[in-house]
Amino acid sequence: MAKKLRVWIDRDQCIADQVCAALCPQVFEMADDGLSSIVAQYRKDPNNLAEGIVPIELKDCVAQAVDSCPVQIIHMEEIEE
Ligand code: SF4
C-alpha cells in the first residue's frame, strides 16, 4: 500500500481562469469545454475529468492549486492504494 493523493474538482463551479493549470500543469489542464480537468494520465476513469489519483510527490504542486483557486473548488486527500 502506497500513499497517493485523490484530487477532485467541482467542475460545474469552475470560472476557467486557468490558475490551477498554470501552477500545476502536471495535474491540471483546461479541457475542451473550457473548464479545469485532471490530466488524462491520472484520471481514475478516463471519462471522469473531475477526479484523479496522483503520486504523493505532487502534493506540493496540487496544494498550491488548492490554495490558489479563487473559488476554492479543488480538493485533495491522502489515500492508501
Ligand atoms: S483555479 Fe479553480 S476556477 Fe480556476 S481554472 Fe482551476 S479549478 Fe477552475
Q: What is the CATH number of the domain that holds 67?
A: 3.30.70.20
Tally of domains within the chain? 1
**Cβ–Cβ < 8 Å for 2, 79:** no
Confidence bin at 1 (pLDDT 50/70/90): confident
Strands of the chain, DSSP E: 3-9, 28-30, 36-38, 51-55, 74-80
Closest CA to ligand 1's atom 4: 17
Do β-strands 28-30 and 74-80 pair in parallel, antiparallel, or remain unpaired? unpaired
- pTM here is 0.96
Confidence bin at 10 (pLDDT 50/70/90): very high
Q: What is the pLDDT of residue 81?
A: 83
34-71 confidence digits (pLDDT tens): 999 999 999 999 999 999 999 999 999 999 999 999 99
Domain that holds residue 69: 3-80
- Best of 11, 13, 15, 66 to mutate for ligand 1, by most ligand atoms within 8 A of CB? 15
Q: What distance in angstroms lies between residue 28's CA and the mean position of ligand 1's atoms?
A: 9
